[in-house]
A and B are shown apart, each in its own frame.
Chain A
Amino acid sequence: MNSATTGTLASGRRSFDSRWTKLLIIWAVLLLAPLWLPLLGGYTALAGRVLVLGLAAMSFNLLLGFTGVMSFGHAAYFGLGAYGAGLTLKFLAASTPLALLMGTLLGGVAGAIVGLFIARRRGVYFAMATVAFGQIGFYIAYTWNDFTGGYDGLRGFSREPLHLGFTTIDIANNGTLFYYFLLFVFGLAVAAQGLMLASPFGRTLLAIRENERRARFLGIPIERHIWLSFTISCFFTGLAGSLYALLNNFADPMAMHYSLSGEIVIMAVMGGMRAFWGPLVGAAVFVVLQDYISSMTVNWMSFVGLLFVLVVLFFPRGLLGMLQRRGAE
């Protein structure tokens, strides 16, 4: 699943082995996070943040890395997911799975509608249209005080324990259990993404990324594929957003602001947008750096900006991109 999506041409037994080694390392690190993280001075909620933003960045990267179109408005679907989950818990029913479902649907359906407007646009114009449409969500969350809590954000809801019939898993109060719940949902979503990218549909997206004109000549309906890719990406981003609301028991309008869209893009690029796991690595680096810097100085925005500039000027391939290249040489 992995090297099929990274586009490396290495074949045969070796790549099969290295693919499984890589998966093993990633999942070992993620599964054991509650054990090793406190030793390094981290905390489990931070690991949860990495998973959530990592899922958002990986979902975003279905577009940038694997379809070749650039959305700068993904915070909108992330934020809609968060508000969808929060509002469900607050007004509809005290059920965590239902909240996830509603958040995902809200983000995904909004993405499907916006996608209709923008699927014909390309390059920076696609990016510009996604930013402008994305801000609609921010504007609504910001203005509709009674319903969304306005500038202060949506409060007054909390995640509920999972009732499985024979047992109850208390993810509401036990942080470690909640981390494993996040990891479970993350794993399902990422597996679905990997399978999608390995399918003929995913291969078609790669073809569009590599050469849109040639793909069109082969009879591939480009607009429909880009719309589908955008919509799927938004569904997953909405899921990440719902998890974010559960993680914080809070949804704020800044989760919809275009500056978060930019941060999602930088996570994907910093980790390596051509690598399947790149965005997760980027998210980990970004979240940890942001946590560390914002505890050190009030001018953390400058440092985040500097990170953007340094990555663009000196590490455009991203961390995994550089590793891959070194491995190829």
Chain B
Amino acid sequence: MLQVVLFNVTNGLIIGAFYVLMALGLSLILNLSNVINFAHGNFLALGGYTAFVLTPYIGFWGALLVSPLITAVLGLIIERLMIQRVYNRDPVYSLLLTFGLAFIIQDVCRYVFGPNGLPLGVPDAMAAPLSSDLFFITWYRIFNVAVVIIAVSGLFAFLRFTRVGVRIRAGTLDLETVAALGVNVRFLRSFNFGLGCLLAGLAGVLAGGQIGLNPNMGDDLLMPSFIAIIVGGVGSLTGTLIGGLLIGVAAALTTVVWPSGSEAVIYIIMAVVLILRPRGLMGEEGMLT
């Protein structure tokens, strides 16, 4: 029993880590630009497929570094060409735009790489389990969690200590004032969008090594990421972090006692949080309304 619980807790942490990477990227873009990026899961898939293409040439490690950057560049191009045009219009347009982009990217992935799953090879040493007792935990899983911890700490440090990071946080609170102070908001939004896509791309590579690649691999992560943001509180990245881990672990623990209810518990958590604390766990008063 202990092993089953341990197995599911580690599973939950890993799934939660993917939720966190996805949700933090979504949250960054949502907070600064007021855009829900429905294509975020498809940027994740793009990151995974990029790694799949690059691995034969530069190896898994190289791909792990390069693919997120390429995803970010693709995101920047799409932001510059299309999304930027709708920032100042009714939010319904940005939603529809990213919705359409999600359809297109998913279909292109299916067209290029086929509808079936593809494996993303990870180095042999990583695929080995920790020990015979802990046969269910491979080194790759530990590595996943470590990378996510590093990436998340890096993101928070970046937002705290660099000039651009501080401006992004300031823009989240009051973009107009930031613009009035002479900050190039156009650049800030593009950069921020690219940053979000970078995180999605990283999640894509990690997830590809864990569960393999398929054209709609990001879709299953999108809804939990929305819920992580709602539960954590809109406007708070720390909240998103906590929300993602919370629903990841809760879903995994539910699997122990009620296997088919793992998704139900995510929605229940959302409903309970919205009843008890409508602004979310860490949300600022007034951000949600």
Main secondary structure of the interface of B (DSSP, over half): helix
Q: A120-B289, A125-B288, A312-B96 are in contact. Are A305 and B271 (CB under 8 A)?
A: no
B35 located at the interface, meaning its Cβ lies under 8 Å from any Cβ of chain A in the complex: yes
A201 located at the interface, meaning its Cβ lies under 8 Å from any Cβ of chain B in the complex: no
A123–B91 CB distance below 8 A: yes
A313–B85 CB distance below 8 A: yes
Interface residues of A in 109-156 (CB under 8 A from B): 117, 120-125, 127-129, 131-133, 135-136, 139, 143
Interface residues of B in 89-116 (CB under 8 A from A): 89, 91-93, 95-97, 99-104, 106-108, 110-111
The contact of A305 among B89, B95, B104, B264, by CB within 8 Å, is B104
From B275, which residue of chain A is reached at the shortest CB distance? A117
In the assembled complex, the Cα of A131 lies from the Cα of B230 at a distance in Å of 11
Residues of chain A within 8 A of B166, CB atoms compared: none
Question: B173-216 toward A: CB 8 Å interface, digit per residue (1/0)?
Answer: 00000000000000000000000000000000000000000000
In the assembled complex, the Cα of A244 lies from the Cα of B122 at a distance in Å of 47
Distance of A293 from chain B, by nearest CB (Å):
12
B93–A316 CB distance below 8 A: yes
A285 located at the interface, meaning its Cβ lies under 8 Å from any Cβ of chain B in the complex: no
Number of A-B contacts (CB under 8 A): 121
A31 located at the interface, meaning its Cβ lies under 8 Å from any Cβ of chain B in the complex: no
In the assembled complex, the Cα of A266 lies from the Cα of B99 at a distance in Å of 10
In the assembled complex, the Cα of A48 lies from the Cα of B190 at a distance in Å of 44
In the assembled complex, the Cα of A122 lies from the Cα of B92 at a distance in Å of 12
A302–B95 CB distance below 8 A: no
Main secondary structure of the interface of A (DSSP, over half): helix
A309–B101 CB distance below 8 A: yes
Residues of chain A within 8 A of B263, CB atoms compared: 139, 143
B34–A308 CB distance below 8 A: no
Interface size band for A? 35 or more
Distance of A127 from chain B, by nearest CB (Å):
6
B226–A131 CB distance below 8 A: yes
B86–A312 CB distance below 8 A: yes
Distance of B103 from chain A, by nearest CB (Å):
3
The contact of A302 among B36, B104, B227, B289, by CB within 8 Å, is B104
The contact of B95 among A124, A135, A309, by CB within 8 Å, is A124
Residues of chain A within 8 A of B264, CB atoms compared: 139, 143
- Interface contacts beyond A70-B95, A307-B100: sample of 13 additional A-B pairs, CB < 8 Å, sorted by A: A70-B91, A117-B271, A123-B34, A124-B95, A127-B95, A129-B274, A135-B223, A143-B260, A302-B103, A305-B99, A305-B102, A309-B97, A312-B96
Interface residues of A (CB under 8 A from B): 64, 70, 72, 117, 120-125, 127-129, 131-133, 135-136, 139, 143, 258-259, 262, 265-266, 269, 273, 299, 301-302, 304-309, 311-313, 316
Interface residues of B (CB under 8 A from A): 30, 34-36, 38, 82, 85-86, 89, 91-93, 95-97, 99-104, 106-108, 110-111, 223, 226-227, 229-230, 234, 260, 263-264, 267, 270-271, 274-275, 278, 288-289
The 3 closest A-B pairs by CB, nearest first: A308-B100, A305-B103, A305-B104
